[in-house]
Chains A and B, each alone.
Chain A
Amino acid sequence: MGAQKKRAAAAAAAARVSEDPDDLARQPLQAILLADSFTTKFRPITLERPKVLLPLVNVPMINYTLAWLEAAGVAEVFVFCCAHSKQVIDYLENSEWFSQPNFTVKTIESHNIISAGDALRLIYEQNVIHGDFVLISGDTVSNMSLTQALQEHKERKKKDNNAVMTMIIKKSKPSPITRQSRLGTDELFMAIDPNTKQLLYYEDKADHSKGTICLDKMLLAENPSISLHNDKQDCYIDICSPEVLSLFTDNFDYQHLRRHFVKGLLLDDIMGYKIFTHEIHSSYAARIDNYRSYDIVSKDIIQRWTYPYVPDVKFCGNRATKLERRGICFTAFNSEIEQSRSAQVGSFTVIGYGTKIGSNSKISDSVIGEGCTIGSNVLIEGSYIWDNVIIEDGCELRHVIVCDGVIMKAGAVLKPGVVLSFKVVIGERFVVPAYSKVSLLQQPTVHDSDEELEYADNSSGTVEFSSIQGTADQSNGEMTSESSEAHKPKLGTGGVGYIWSICEGGQEEEWRHSVAPIPEDKLTELSEAMDDDQELVTQDRTALSTSGELISDSNASEGDDNEDSKDDSVYFEKEVEATFLRAVEENVKVDHVILEVNSLRLSYNMTSADCAGAVFYSMMKLAIKTPHSSAIGLLTLYPSPFSMVASNAYPIYLSGELQQNTANIITTWQKLLKSYLLEIDEEIEIILKFEEMCLESAKEFSPLFARILHILYDKDILQEDAILRWADEKEGADESDKVFVRQSEKFIQWLREASEEED
């Protein structure tokens, strides 16, 4: 009986397993929405409010993402909150997203997560993802239909279990001048197999200055065809199989979705996981990564590329707006605004509920939030003004972002690229310089490198936030008066806030990523630079057509090799010198030094000639460094029959002393040097090295060249053949090169005679 039952159970289990694939297909689609970008690009605004809640054309960004996910047929969304998680959760709870019939939103909260990788690992541990899921961050705007991409993904998965991810890409040409995409990110290079759409190569930080990218040779060997694109934009929408989460768990060092995960999978050929791409054509998708993409995506929304997620179509909690025709173009208006008759509101402008606009004000290409008060004679151009901002008479704003509750006193001017964080007050007639960021909070003093910042201080971000809450809750007057006193000169009379200093090296990046258009002079500078580049490339005749942008692999790598080897030899010389000096100081045995130098030689892949050169170089250096006083007792003028140096500027006793030192050192270490002088070539190398030193790094030796050459000959380090060969080689050289040959002419003459006599 029992056995039978067991068998039945086993059969049932087997049946369940066999049904599983079908179950998976029918499973409701899930999505992971990362409500934290784990970057600091939107500072100082993000110190006070999470990025996903920043208004994008008067609607918090996360609403665009959620609205799209719902329309795309996702049934369950896990919103991962980290920085300012309380604000995000509070917002979602009060929004209508929690009350949708066929769409559930769940929040996962964690405070000590510093990267997307960590977040995915945590979600894996919670074991809530059961099938394919969409991975997206809360700052993505899209209107694409997922059906086709999802179907492709499933079919591929069925055929090949290793196809774990489908990446959504979109065609978007990078700017020819700035070499950055429309969205202000770096130019992106992708290699895609045109038949299978498999992603083979992904490089978002291509070296602009060289204009080259390096592809692995294997890539070309293994794939019959590859198309290389620089006109694709990564939409940061991924359809992933559940394996992706476990991959993150297995590789605990994966942090960044693209830089670590995608590149990691592409490089790792052991597991054989594959990433595929799906290109969208007519629909829109973009991620807001920095201030420039904020500007550009806003304008795309106003120009209706994101239809139906546009200001005048109600999609989630946005107030009804209507369009009005201004000239040829359209402006979205809320029905309840107060606008003076003489105010001019230009095209492509969105004005929020309950905003008042004074007389003779001009507004164009801008977004103005709810409940703002704009005085008369104000000029607003290409700017983003959030809710409840007060702008007094005569202010000028061009290409700026102004957060909630900012007050601009009369006559204040914001230059392009300025960002005013929450509740800043700008004093009367104060001019805020271009690209500056102003916040009530002081700039965090720690300045890591960019790379580290991205992962470093998210936890500290939340801590800071709580402290802000504290200060904000304090009696307002006290706080503001205090800070205004301390910073009166900074923001004009009555101004409140700190101007953040732009970190060093940041200046270059500021204009790239700000809301302001790239200034004229930068553009000309860049275009000139590019012209130069192109000339260079045409000279080299290595470039293919510009559209291909692919410089043939072998050439590129060769160039790299040359550079590398040059670098290497410099390092090698330094290492050898350090080894040698240590040997001198610690009286290491000559044999041991030879051993050490040999190991260096192997690790740097150098020839014995290089070693000889390096060792000789170190010896000569030591000779210069050795204190002259110690040699004073030995001061003798070496009567040299070959000397032509008397006229030289160096005091004769000094050169004598130096010569003595050199002689001592050579005597002591001749064994070391000899061990590398296997053939005549190495000896010539030493002479050349010596010559080079005399010309460049150790000019003290130049008067002594002939004498030291003689010493070397005496000590049997150099054979007469080597010296003669060197002299012969130099015969045909330039006059300037011959200085030392002529200096040692007598010596060479003597050598020649001697050899003849021997014969």
Chain B
Amino acid sequence: MSLSQLMLGPNVVLCNAASQTYPSCNTFTHALSFFNKIEGSQATARQTAELLRSVISQQRVPYTNQAGALIDAVKAIGEQLIAANPVELAVGNIVRRVLHIIREEDLSLTTAAIGGLNLSAVSDDENDDDRDGDSTLSAAAVAAAARSTLRPPSLQTLLEDTPVSAAVPQTSSSGAADKSSRSRKLKHDVIEAVNELIQDIVTCHEQIAEQAVEHIHQNEVILTLGSSRTVLEFLFAAKEKKRSFRVFVAEGAPRYQGHLLAKELVARGLQTTLITDSAVFAMISRVNMVIVGAHAVMANGGVIAPVGMNLVALAAQKHAVPFVVLAGSHKLCPLYPHNPEVLLNELRSPSELLDFGEFSDCMDFGSGSGSPLLHVVNPAFDYVPPKLVSLFITDAGGHNPSYMYRLIADYYSADDLVVQRRATAGN
């Protein structure tokens, strides 16, 4: 079922709020698929989050199972957003983050309600020991269950003092008025949390850049490939702290974004050397640290990055140069890479490699066997396995590749790894 069909369906006529949502969603889907008008994962992530926020705010929630309704609504849109451009993993990440937020908020609300209930139960039913014990027991049991299943133990949760809540089915004792206030509160809390997420996405460059002085030292030589906003900000931050260092920029064929990066670095007064991608191995022995951006970071600590990155990583390993990857938390993807060279890749137009006119005679299908002898393949991304990465720097600090799965467990819930509405929800 496509968005347009949704639009033409009768439910739009009935529900005004939804019809306001869908066109913007439609534009967004098209924007994603057409020409990648939104360039860069940060902007995409932000757009996705903003879109989902508006979906949530316009979603009418029923009295029972509000979280379920919100999750279904977000999943419905999210599924299509992901399908529109499956290669841009940031979209899926944000959809999963929002789903996680809804679950968390629902959980904390429920715990609060149960806590309140328990308190009132204790105060009201002093003489009824059986019931009291029963209810506390059940709450504790459920909380324990929740700790073990819904939320795998993480450093954050272990250190946290606050009692962890459970997704209990709503007790029948809460009144209707209570419910409506709760539903409003849930929505409000979720939107609040999504706003925080958006804020995080917006400020991720600065938060990463703050750590620059800890990593870049005086008179070092830094090598980078292609262009990345995060890397640019990171280097500027070090420069602003009066560190003097040199930067080698590999141009990043075939899109040559390294040229742009070199231009910007020079504009900020950094000593810059531009080299070809193929010269990386020759230069790496003089380099103290490789700092690059990423397209996505997978759950195993592998990196999806612009094409050519694997070569740089291999060269760095050969000469024992630290290979540092900068990635905002919206780039952390809870999926494991299976066949990443193909499935998580994007094959771009061959025209970036060669001029169609010059080679048009090599692609004459009219003569010979009918299939051309010349094939041009232009993959956009490389996969760098985790063993080649020395350090990840995210907005939450620096991490080892083997720690990535833990970080990811904090941001995503296991239920959402596959963003696909269940068959029943589809009906």
Whether the pair B35, A184 counts as a contact (CB closer than 8 A) is no
User: Which residues of B lie under 8 Å from residue A300 when comparing CB positions?
Assistant: 363
Q: Could you show 18 A-B contacts with beta carbons less than 8 Å apart?
A: A71-B35, A96-B3, A99-B8, A100-B30, A170-B357, A182-B363, A281-B355, A281-B356, A282-B351, A282-B356, A299-B365, A303-B350, A315-B33, A329-B375, A382-B370, A516-B370, A517-B366, A518-B367
| Of B350, B357, B366, B371, most A-chain CB atoms within 10 Å | B366
| Of A295, A314, A348, A382, most B-chain CB atoms within 10 Å | A314
Q: Name the one of A67, A173, A296, A517 contacting B368, with C-beta atoms under 8 angstroms.
A: A517
Whether the pair A523, B367 counts as a contact (CB closer than 8 A) is yes
The residues in B between 22 and 51 inclusive whose CB is less than 8 angstroms from any CB of A are: 23, 26-27, 30, 33-36
Q: Does B158 contact A (CB under 8 A)?
A: no
If A96-B2, A303-B376, A382-B371 touch, does A143 touch B349 (CB 8 Å cutoff)?
yes
Q: Does B173 contact A (CB under 8 A)?
A: no
User: Which residues of A lie under 8 Å from residue B7 when comparing CB positions?
Assistant: 99
Whether the pair B357, A281 counts as a contact (CB closer than 8 A) is yes
A309 to chain B, nearest CB (A): 10
Known: A300-B363, A517-B367, A518-B367. 17 other contacts (CB 8 A): A71-B34, A96-B4, A101-B23, A101-B26, A171-B358, A175-B366, A182-B360, A182-B366, A231-B357, A281-B355, A282-B355, A284-B351, A284-B356, A292-B366, A307-B348, A308-B35, A399-B370
Whether the pair B371, A365 counts as a contact (CB closer than 8 A) is yes
Provide the bound-state CA to CA distance between A382 and B369, in Å: 9
Q: Does B176 contact A (CB under 8 A)?
A: no
B207 to chain A, nearest CB (A): 33
Whether the pair B349, A305 counts as a contact (CB closer than 8 A) is yes
A564 to chain B, nearest CB (A): 35
Q: Does B161 contact A (CB under 8 A)?
A: no
Q: Which residue of B lies closest to A308 (CB)?
A: B35
User: Which residues of B lie under 8 Å from residue A306 when comparing CB positions?
Assistant: 349
- How big is chain B's contact interface, by range? 35 or more
If A314-B83, A320-B83, A517-B368 touch, does A304 touch B34 (CB 8 Å cutoff)?
no
A460 to chain B, nearest CB (A): 32
Provide the bound-state CA to CA distance between A300 and B371, in Å: 11
Q: Does B415 contact A (CB under 8 A)?
A: no
- How big is chain A's contact interface, by range? 35 or more
Whether the pair B350, A305 counts as a contact (CB closer than 8 A) is yes
**How would residues 505 to 548 of chain A score, 1 for a CB under 8 Å from any chain B CB and 0 otherwise?**
00000000000111000010000000000000000000000000
If A99-B8, A143-B349, A323-B347 touch, does A308 touch B34 (CB 8 Å cutoff)?
yes
Whether the pair B364, A175 counts as a contact (CB closer than 8 A) is yes
Q: Which residue of B lies closest to A232 (CB)?
A: B357
Q: Does A178 contact B (CB under 8 A)?
A: yes
Q: Does B15 contact A (CB under 8 A)?
A: no
B2 to chain A, nearest CB (A): 7
Whether the pair A175, B361 counts as a contact (CB closer than 8 A) is yes
Provide the bound-state CA to CA distance between A667 and B166, in Å: 131
Q: Does B378 contact A (CB under 8 A)?
A: yes
Provide the bound-state CA to CA distance between A523 and B370, in Å: 13
Cβ-closest 3 pairs across A and B: A171-B357, A307-B349, A96-B4
Q: Which residue of B lies closest to A325 (CB)?
A: B342
B residues in contact (CB < 8 Å) with A: 2-4, 7-8, 23, 26-27, 30, 33-36, 83-86, 341-343, 347-352, 355-358, 360-361, 363-372, 375-378
Grouping DSSP codes into helix (H, G, I), strand (E, B) and loop, the A interface class, with mixed when no group exceeds half, is loop
Q: Does A172 contact B (CB under 8 A)?
A: yes
If A170-B356, A175-B361, A315-B33 touch, does A284 touch B366 (CB 8 Å cutoff)?
no
Q: Does A313 contact B (CB under 8 A)?
A: yes
User: Which residues of B lie under 8 Å from residue A322 when comparing CB positions?
Assistant: 86, 343
Whether the pair A172, B26 counts as a contact (CB closer than 8 A) is no
User: Which residues of A lie under 8 Å from residue B361 when comparing CB positions?
Assistant: 173, 175-176
Provide the bound-state CA to CA distance between A252 and B34, in Å: 40
B256 to chain A, nearest CB (A): 13
**How would residues 119 to 160 of chain A score, 1 for a CB under 8 Å from any chain B CB and 0 otherwise?**
000000000000000000000000100000000000000000
The residues in A between 61 and 104 inclusive whose CB is less than 8 angstroms from any CB of B are: 67, 70-71, 95-96, 99-102
**How would residues 308 to 327 of chain A score, 1 for a CB under 8 Å from any chain B CB and 0 otherwise?**
10101111010010111100
Provide the bound-state CA to CA distance between A283 and B355, in Å: 9
Provide the bound-state CA to CA distance between A447 and B358, in Å: 41
Q: Which residue of A lies closest to B7 (CB)?
A: A99
Q: Does A328 contact B (CB under 8 A)?
A: yes
B369 to chain A, nearest CB (A): 7
Provide the bound-state CA to CA distance between A320 and B360, in Å: 30
Whether the pair A313, B33 counts as a contact (CB closer than 8 A) is yes
Whether the pair B367, A177 counts as a contact (CB closer than 8 A) is yes
**How would residues 269 to 309 of chain A score, 1 for a CB under 8 Å from any chain B CB and 0 otherwise?**
00000000000011110000000100110011001111110
Q: Which residue of A lies closest to B34 (CB)?
A: A71
A445 to chain B, nearest CB (A): 31
Q: Name the one of A305, A313, A516 contacting B351, with C-beta atoms under 8 angstroms.
A: A305
Q: Which residue of B lies closest to A172 (CB)?
A: B360
User: Which residues of B lie under 8 Å from residue A95 when comparing CB positions?
Assistant: 4
Q: Name the one of B355, B357, B367, B370 contacting A365, with C-beta atoms under 8 angstroms.
A: B370
B409 to chain A, nearest CB (A): 28
Q: Does A726 contact B (CB under 8 A)?
A: no
Q: Does A330 contact B (CB under 8 A)?
A: yes
User: Which residues of A lie under 8 Å from residue B2 when comparing CB positions?
Assistant: 96, 317
Whether the pair A299, B348 counts as a contact (CB closer than 8 A) is no
A585 to chain B, nearest CB (A): 58
The residues in A between 603 and 639 inclusive whose CB is less than 8 angstroms from any CB of B are: none
A325 to chain B, nearest CB (A): 5
User: Which residues of A lie under 8 Å from residue B23 when comparing CB positions?
Assistant: 101
Provide the bound-state CA to CA distance between A312 and B344, in Å: 12
Provide the bound-state CA to CA distance between A176 and B364, in Å: 11
Provide the bound-state CA to CA distance between A296 and B355, in Å: 17
Whether the pair A315, B371 counts as a contact (CB closer than 8 A) is no
Q: Which residue of A lies closest to B5 (CB)?
A: A96
Whether the pair A315, B34 counts as a contact (CB closer than 8 A) is yes
A528 to chain B, nearest CB (A): 15
Q: Which residue of A lies closest to B83 (CB)?
A: A320
Whether the pair B342, A324 counts as a contact (CB closer than 8 A) is yes
Provide the bound-state CA to CA distance between A750 and B48, in Å: 115
Q: Name the one of B360, B367, B377 contacting A178, with C-beta atoms under 8 angstroms.
A: B367
A315 to chain B, nearest CB (A): 6
